[in-house]
Chain A
């Protein structure tokens, strides 16, 4: 169940009840690679609030690798959001177009076709808390605006067919079913149909679409959960999404650890520094001060990065998870206190580079 504090198309706080836990919103989602959050084994207490798992990661030449799909034996302990593909519009599959019954996916062993039956099996084996239903997108188009009129008709009917099929075969416990609303599918015909199937919406370009929908009298039900999955990865865009009224936003957590960054961002007091420490920098060689609550000296993490020891990324991933949790707590507080928009401006100015 999702209880928003406001039903308008604007910044809002809320509470998401899933799987016996309450997740306050706005909050963040972290993408997995092959069923695990990079660097984090499930025994670490500090896990992201939600993890996104993708069907395309669990395919090989022989098809769906179903023996590893069991909710209770995943190397993951966060609540799950599940999608068929990371981004339906970012696939180099010119010679393998979608069909009425299957979506083309990129796997570690090349392009494959995943039938809706396969996707349904994946979904039912993992029994996620939120399902994002895939939509049809023509592989040839370099950008979304160039989808021809006839193709939009096919895209609409095919996406609806997939949505109905997956909705009908969804695991009973799945609390949330989200359909994505790319610009081509924002027609009243499509919205009316999916409105009965889904209880949440997923946006490709959170901010833009939401602003458009807010001005549209035929806008879909604004009390539903809103998810943004494909933002640019910049923290300023994450803030823009939240400003537009997104409840759950995808955050590129892992890229920070992989670059050797320890985040220092704050929503309450932005701008004390540039928002991160690059622990690769030689200035940290003999730095004996501890990195926040990590328990580790900055000089040690610098050493591990230089020595190419994987423990560096584990420590940074844990630290950055904590900082992002803190950031979203502060965002939630500022929404409650009515200071969000002024703080958001300060935040974006302070952390331009992030």
Chain B
């Protein structure tokens, strides 16, 4: 196992915890948000800029890298780190989720996921072995198992079938991993919104003793109450000494509440995708700089923000003028939004270490909702872990 997980502080009220996850290419402080560089680059940022933001780990997508540059090139250059000149950690997904969500014609059998090649429409099969082989070629520090993904809102026997199949596929992935000494394979908990299935799956996955465990099959449009119930049920049933990864979660409120429920790792394309449409994330919510009211606004995106754009006081008016037309405002907004996410998690972490997480959560929500009419799902979820929003 090439991962050590050391919990350095626990919130005295909620299930939140701060830890250090030691990986082959340096330590990662958790809770952590991981930006997504789908095709081995984070939307116009250089690896140095990503480092300067304090990013210790980011995502690449196996499906995309498998198509381009392809496994052969990855093997030749010695993996994705060398390829993109990034010497910190990389996490890769299995490629399965991307196929099911991007390719409508994907079908799932015990062998794997069958899909039509986007190149020539010929049928292709992604097996657990093939996914791990690709991730071995990428050389990611954390790999995800291929899982049987069902849509979050699916009910009935298909959910249980997918859960058991995901467990069998984990065994095949573990067996296929050529580099368990340097590449950490994470299991993914399935079971839909059925809490009993989730508990069963947690036990099965924990028994396989992978370096970390993800909570999958969420953030697909389910009710937020249900999302919180599943996360909380899983963290109750997962080992204390392993990182817990909520896949595809990235809205600030979801991050803060999920940390309270005991999750450690998150990823989402939202902060960088929304940047390209002119949206900036701030502690008072997201603002769209294309809005006419910013034409004559000479103040920076967010006072006190430590990103390049705000430190240099580049005015909102500039973004209003140029966003959607030029690349520089897009890069600056990507820097800002990525900084916002990483800094949010750094603040969350510090508050846990100082045992002031409850105060932090209250300040965070009151900035976001000045009228203090908080969303019920957040109030209930936080109440469940002894945090009162007041």
Which residues of B (9-33) have their CB < 8 Å from a CB of A? none
Interface size (A, Cβ < 8 Å)? 43
Check if B107 is an interface residue, CB within 8 A of chain A.
no
Check if B326 is an interface residue, CB within 8 A of chain A.
yes
Chain A residues contacting B332 (CB-CB under 8 Å) are 41, 75
Chain B residues contacting A66 (CB-CB under 8 Å) are 296
Q: Mark B28-41, 1 if CB is under 8 A from A, else 0.
A: 00000000000111
CB-contact partner of A314 in B52, B69, B77, B331, under 8 A: B331
Chain B residues contacting A148 (CB-CB under 8 Å) are none
Are B321 and A297 interface neighbours, CB within 8 A?
no
Segment from B43-51, B135-143, B186-194, B243-251 that makes contact with A = B43-51
Which residues of A (192-240) have their CB < 8 Å from a CB of B? none
Check if A352 is an interface residue, CB within 8 A of chain B.
no
Name the CB-closest residue of B to A33: B326
Check if A141 is an interface residue, CB within 8 A of chain B.
no
Check if A143 is an interface residue, CB within 8 A of chain B.
no
Are A43 and B49 interface neighbours, CB within 8 A?
yes
> Given A68-B317, A75-B318, A310-B327, does the pair A42, B312 have CB atoms closer than 8 Å?
yes
Where chain B touches its partner, the secondary structure class is: helix
Of B52, B330, B332, the most chain A CB neighbours within 10 A belong to: B332
Chain B residues contacting A75 (CB-CB under 8 Å) are 309, 312, 314, 318, 328-329, 332
Name the CB-closest residue of B to A317: B327
Looking at the assembled complex, report how far the CB atom of B82 sits from the nearest CB atom of chain A, in whole angstroms: 8
Looking at the assembled complex, report how far the CB atom of B207 sits from the nearest CB atom of chain A, in whole angstroms: 40
Of B42, B52, B77, B318, the most chain A CB neighbours within 10 A belong to: B318
Chain B residues contacting A349 (CB-CB under 8 Å) are none
| A307 to B68 CA separation, bound complex (whole angstroms) | 8
Are B298 and A34 interface neighbours, CB within 8 A?
no
Are A39 and B327 interface neighbours, CB within 8 A?
yes
Check if B297 is an interface residue, CB within 8 A of chain A.
yes
Q: Mark B41-81, 1 if CB is under 8 A from A, else 0.
A: 11111100100100000000000100011001100110000
| A274 to B69 CA separation, bound complex (whole angstroms) | 27
Are B41 and A34 interface neighbours, CB within 8 A?
no
> Given A67-B295, A311-B44, does the pair A60, B331 have CB atoms closer than 8 Å?
no
Q: Mark B195-231, 1 if CB is under 8 A from A, else 0.
A: 0000000000000000000000000000000000000
> Given A42-B308, A75-B318, A309-B43, does the pair A68, B331 have CB atoms closer than 8 Å?
no
Looking at the assembled complex, report how far the CB atom of A53 sits from the nearest CB atom of chain B, in whole angstroms: 12
Check if A36 is an interface residue, CB within 8 A of chain B.
yes
Interface size (B, Cβ < 8 Å)? 47
Are B44 and A68 interface neighbours, CB within 8 A?
no
Check if A118 is an interface residue, CB within 8 A of chain B.
no
Looking at the assembled complex, report how far the CB atom of B47 sits from the nearest CB atom of chain A, in whole angstroms: 8
Looking at the assembled complex, report how far the CB atom of B90 sits from the nearest CB atom of chain A, in whole angstroms: 14
Are B68 and A310 interface neighbours, CB within 8 A?
no
Are A73 and B83 interface neighbours, CB within 8 A?
no
Q: Mark A63-88, 1 if CB is under 8 A from B, else 0.
A: 00111101011110000000000000
Segment from A298-306, A321-329, A338-346 that makes contact with B = A298-306
Name the CB-closest residue of A to B42: A311
Chain B residues contacting A300 (CB-CB under 8 Å) are 40, 77, 83-85
Chain A residues contacting B45 (CB-CB under 8 Å) are 311, 314
Chain B residues contacting A295 (CB-CB under 8 Å) are 85
Check if A315 is an interface residue, CB within 8 A of chain B.
yes
Chain B residues contacting A310 (CB-CB under 8 Å) are 43-44, 327, 330-331
Are A70 and B315 interface neighbours, CB within 8 A?
yes
Chain A residues contacting B84 (CB-CB under 8 Å) are 296, 300
Check if A50 is an interface residue, CB within 8 A of chain B.
no
| A297 to B85 CA separation, bound complex (whole angstroms) | 8
Chain A residues contacting B313 (CB-CB under 8 Å) are 72-73
Chain A residues contacting B327 (CB-CB under 8 Å) are 38-39, 310, 313-314
CB-contact partner of B314 in A60, A73, A299, under 8 A: A73
Interface residues of A (CB under 8 A from B): 33-44, 58, 60, 62, 65-68, 70, 72-75, 108, 285-286, 288, 295-297, 299-300, 303-304, 306-307, 309-311, 313-315
Question: What are 25 sample pairs from A and B whose C-beta atoms fall under 8 A apart?
Answer: A33-B326, A36-B326, A38-B326, A38-B328, A42-B308, A43-B308, A67-B296, A67-B298, A67-B315, A68-B315, A73-B298, A75-B309, A286-B76, A288-B76, A299-B69, A300-B85, A303-B68, A304-B40, A309-B39, A309-B44, A310-B44, A310-B327, A311-B41, A311-B43, A314-B45
What 18 additional pairs, Cβ within 8 angstroms, besides A34-B318, A310-B331? A33-B322, A65-B317, A67-B315, A68-B298, A68-B317, A68-B318, A68-B320, A73-B315, A73-B318, A296-B84, A296-B85, A300-B83, A303-B40, A307-B39, A307-B41, A309-B40, A310-B43, A315-B46
